[in-house]
Structure 1
């Protein structure tokens, strides 16, 4: 797949923190594979690695929250991307509150939405979660710059992809 590697090498997509909850278990991870995929109805697809603890919790969850970060929030990206919830409770280290469906919503982020899981799609080593938004953060006065893949390309993942 050298052609796809060369194509993907030039991309600098936004990074997201995805959080979820199933029962008493909370989980969250840093995600780069995500995009709005429909305008009407509004739908968003998030891809989670099968190797990730967040995937194992999300597989049983009814909702996911998707958060954008600012470039200066690399510490939050490192927590959710470089550490695994198998070893630590990430939510002890950030401010958050319960959102729709009980999912953790991070207090300090650019924007967020909570989506109800409509469908799960097999995508190889990642599973896609098709989300219908049910709650969202208020709009800000300006569109801030977002944390992007280039800002975290050197981050060592908490789990292999």
Structure 2
């Protein structure tokens, strides 16, 4: 079996949480649905977010100092679809949801199950994504024990921008 085929088969078996990442810089706001994100260190705490190079959010994030990372409950699948299926080039996503200005000026989605704001302490090339290494500076949680949005929930979503 070719390595690419084996890798594709491996990845097809995965189901992982999806996140909405929001950003504010240079008087612009952006946000997108993200599947490439993970805790990267326990001590010190670090989180890695990969943003697509073709995404409007990435162009804003490149000028930003902080990102907000949101875990949405399954009941907010429509919000995940808004941030994953639309592009900020054409749609005001923030005009279609409840949010507030959070720490460091980042947009924080009111319906998130949990969220944190992280300082961008490093950026690096990840192929068709830009990695943003975050050091958490603030966060919040609804305290609700609700199932988050997973990849299987949005697998058939047509992205606002291609990868």
Q: Establish whether TM, by shorter chain, passes 0.5.
A: yes
**Alpha-carbon distance, 1:153 to partner:** 0.5
Instruction: Tell me the residue number matched to 1:45.
Output: 48
Instruction: Tell me the residue number matched to 2:149.
Output: 147
Counterparts of residues 24-35 of structure 1 (less than 5 Å): 24-35=27-38
Give the structure-1-normalised TM-score.
Answer: 0.96
In 1, the alpha carbon distance for the partners of 2:123 and 2:7 equals 24
Aligned length: 160
Instruction: Tell me the residue number matched to 1:75.
Output: 78
**DSSP 3-state at the match of 2:58:** helix
Cα RMSD of the aligned pairs, angstroms, is 1.0
**DSSP 3-state at the match of 1:60:** coil
Match of 2:129 among 126, 130, 142: 126
Q: Which structure 1 residue ranges, 4+ long, deviate > 2 Å from structure 2? A: none
**DSSP 3-state at the match of 2:9:** helix
Residues 1:135 and 2:138 are matched in the alignment: yes
Deviation by residue 1:53-72 (Cα, 9 ceiling, x = unmatched): 00000010000000001112
Q: Does the CA-based 8 Å contact 2:112-2:142 persist in structure 1? A: no
After superposition, the Cα gap between the structure-2 partners of 1:2 and 1:12, relative to the gap in structure 1 and judged at 3 Å, is same
Structure 2 unaligned spans of 5+: none
Residues 1:23 and 2:26 are matched in the alignment: yes
Give the structure-2-normalised TM-score.
Answer: 0.95
Instruction: Tell me the residue number matched to 1:5.
Output: 8
Residues 1:97 and 2:105 are matched in the alignment: no
**DSSP 3-state at the match of 2:97:** coil
